[in-house]
Structure 1
Amino acid sequence: MLPLKGITVLEFAQFMAGPSAGLKMADLGARVIKIERPKTGEAGRQIALKDIYIDESSMVFHTANRNKQSYAANLKSSEDLEKIKKLIAQADVMTHNFRPGVMEKIGLDYKTVSAINPKIIYGVVSGYGNVGPWAKKPGQDLLIQSLSGFVNLTGNKNDQPIASGLATSDIFTGGHLVQGILAALIQRNNTGKGAKIEVSLLESTLDIQFEVLTSYLNNGNVLPFRADQGNSHAYLDAPYGVYQTKDRYISVALTPLDELFSAMKIKLPDEFEDKSVWYEKRNDIMSYLAKEFVKETTAYWLSIFEPLDFKVSDVYNYHEFLNHEGYKVLKMDQEVITSDGIPMKTTRCPIRLDGERILNSKSAPKVGENNAIIDREFNLS
């Protein structure tokens, strides 16, 4: 039995951060019911990558909302709102990502909801927290990455600020929301009381930068600077980075510089012998190494480094990686089926329980697909 079986989650959230949290809970066995506006559903249904749709909803929506149910309700309707309150009275968790003040206007703020159900865990995702000059600004992944300084860590020295190629802020925030909710569920077992869990895109994006922010705060507030070429971490010594070889690329992680030079059978220049200069002279060292790496193929260098257990790797694209035995053995992919019977390939939950993979074949629901079932089971009509 999955560990969250028997837990009912009401998801008022949209786009990625909140729904990704619901996805993780659904994968682990929770019953996640999306509360959506009638007909059009949540706005995330129309956010698409490469304009790919599966039925009337985007592929992105299906990836973040598999294995959930949909209950269509007009929260401005007193009749529908009354049904939602009856549902809240029987739920374990409720999540939303409306801007500060919106739930108060609707009448589903924490104070009201906890009066209906004192045991409920009330999860809130915001862009910037509920106070301060940015509190009511639109919270969006790229904007958060830009404001938080995250965009100054990727790329090379002369590149413009570069955002992550993923919805990094959204997805980490969703993970933090799940952590808070699970902790509150454990606390509820001891106290019998619910709790309000609050996370924000900005705070989560600061949290995932804890290494570099701590360095900044404790090193004279010196701003991070990226390597001239091959930068992979703005605060780490050479040789950490990505280098071009004769035919491909190679990544070199936490490998002592002197050991690397020795394995490559090249002399470590006198000016680089002192470990204390490996960060200060990072660009010179990486430039020196780049001229050596390009002389041989990636396979050649790996044949030297891997027997020595150096932290190095080839650099793959998706086609190469997904066809490699290293990926296939994980059995990370799965097929889900939409309500119209359309198959879609996607990834599975990355967690294994007692050695078993967690698979769910149900794709995202249509808007209001489960109204009749939920009305009947929860006595809402």
Structure 2
Amino acid sequence: MTDEPQRNGALAGIRVLDATQMLAGPLAATRLGDLGADVIKIESPGSGEFNRTHGFDDRRVEGEMSTFVAVNRNKRSLAMNMKDPEAREAFYELVRTADVFLQNFRRGTAARLGVDYATLSAINPRLVYCSISGYGPEGPYADRPGQDLVVQGYSGSMFSVGRAGDAPTPGALWAADVMTGYQAAIGILGALQARDRIGVGQHVEVDMYSVVLDAQLQELVTFLNTGYDPQRTREASAHAAIPAPYGVYRSSDGWLTLAMSPLPALGEMLDDDWLRSLASYNDGHDHRDEVLAHIRDRFADRSTAQWIEIADRHGVWAGPVYGYSDLPEDPHLVATGAFVEQPGPHGTVVKTVRPPIRMSQTPVAITRGAPLLGADSIDVLRSAGVDEEVIRDLVARGVVGTTAAPVALAP
């Protein structure tokens, strides 16, 4: 292992201490790493963070949980028992060298561990400290579990999809987690920029409940100011507030999506005089169930590709419905290089998704894969100036973990 990685990205020279687990926090830190920051993942020496041992049907890549590998690239791993007083003192030395600290502990845990904002900002006033939670630091829900599905249920969004009378329908994406990770990264970047101006860091707080409300700005501003509460239709619609033909339809070989398209254009596409007559935008609302029922079975005689070609000719917004097995062959994803490789846990490579950000002067890059637990503990502590004898003692007592073949300690 080497010392701090040499990076050329937009955040080169920024050191991030990532004490998060699961998805929202690790994704935020990964995005900072993609941008060039030196991200050090702080984990317990025993089993590491949650996603090292819990994943999709226990699916692993070279022995490492695939879900951990997915959202922990571009990081080094420091395996340290933060409950140990001497280890905590070594961690404080690392804090003095850091620019950002992220945590998503349950409320009160950071203070018990001595890594709360007041403590760490006193050690390093320039530190940007980011707290990620389910519902924020106060209020009746502050101690409730902040898991994606639970937060979706609170958000009101589950009644925007499906038929009237259907059970509430959750989204398939981990949208609350992922959007929270992005919002945390945005807040951190803003705080780093402000630090250059005001000279000190600050506390950035992001919670999942606020994020999923923010993601529904259109719906909620409309409801709060007009009382308009979209009602699900009898027929299958993709969103309760959007006019027909917004939905998913079966073709001869799969499925087809139709988005917000003028009904007369759809009438031309299907050679249907009734649809041609529905010229008002509101007709898609006023006659939504009738339109959806009218066209529900109209696409079964041609393939999805054929329908998309016809839709394109008539200015109707349409697309296919893919499964994961379709994605590697999608011509756009192939042409744009959407799937790339990152270093694997044991010297090979892992297929992954290209970072979504493009920068002309400071390219986003994947230079490291997800780290083995404790692989960088010794290097990280050395780079923070922790005394060699202290490192030796921490490793010997097991409160700092290393890999099976750690970097040798200096004599």
TM-score (norm 2): 0.87
Q: Secondary structure at the match of 1:72?
A: strand
CA distance, structure 2, for counterparts of residue 195 and residue 357 of structure 1: 27
Q: Secondary structure at the match of 1:279?
A: helix
- Aligned position for 2:266: 260
CA distance, structure 2, for counterparts of residue 338 and residue 296 of structure 1: 43
CA distance, structure 2, for counterparts of residue 23 and residue 230 of structure 1: 38
Structure 2 residue 30 is matched with structure 1 residue 51: no
- Aligned position for 1:136: 143
Contact kept? 2:246, 2:260, Cα under 8 Å: yes
Answer 1 or 2: higher relative contact order, Cα 8 Å, separation at least 6: 2
Contact kept? 1:18, 1:96, Cα under 8 Å: yes
Written as runs of structure 1 = structure 2, the 5 A alignment for 1:178-327 is: 178-222=185-229, 224-268=230-274, 272-327=278-333
Q: Give aligned-pair identity as a percent.
A: 34
The alpha-carbon deviation at position 78 of structure 1 amounts to 0.8
Contact kept? 2:251, 2:300, Cα under 8 Å: yes
Match of 1:6 among 13, 17, 27: 13
Contact kept? 1:154, 1:162, Cα under 8 Å: yes
Contact kept? 2:266, 2:276, Cα under 8 Å: no
Q: Secondary structure at the match of 1:199?
A: strand
- Give CA deviations for 1:160-192 in whole Å, capped at 9, x if unaligned: 112222221111000000000001111111111
Worse-superposed segment, 193-202 or 141-150: 141-150
Worse-superposed segment, 113-122 or 273-282: 273-282
CA distance, structure 2, for counterparts of residue 80 and residue 284 of structure 1: 67
Distance 1:174 1:347, change over 3 A: same
The alpha-carbon deviation at position 55 of structure 1 amounts to 4.3
Structure 2 residue 90 is matched with structure 1 residue 71: no
CA distance, structure 1, for counterparts of residue 331 and residue 275 of structure 2: 40
Give aligned pairs, total: 380
- Give CA deviations for 1:34-56 in whole Å, capped at 9, x if unaligned: 11111211122112112102345
Worse-superposed segment, 338-347 or 101-110: 338-347
TM-score (norm 1): 0.94
Written as runs of structure 1 = structure 2, the 5 A alignment for 1:114-129 is: 114-129=121-136
Contact kept? 2:35, 2:365, Cα under 8 Å: no
Contact kept? 1:272, 1:285, Cα under 8 Å: no
Match of 1:346 among 349, 352, 359: 352
The alpha-carbon deviation at position 270 of structure 1 amounts to 9.1
- Give CA deviations for 1:147-168 in whole Å, capped at 9, x if unaligned: 2122222333343112222221
CA distance, structure 2, for counterparts of residue 269 and residue 365 of structure 1: 57
CA distance, structure 1, for counterparts of residue 350 and residue 282 of structure 2: 52
- Aligned position for 1:60: 67
**Which ranges in structure 1 are unaligned for 5 or more consecutive residues?**
none
Q: Secondary structure at the match of 1:76?
A: coil
The CA RMSD measured in Å over matched residues stands at: 2.0
Which residue identity is paired with 2:331?
E
Match of 2:342 among 318, 336, 342: 336
Worse-superposed segment, 14-23 or 345-354: 345-354
Contact kept? 1:351, 1:358, Cα under 8 Å: yes
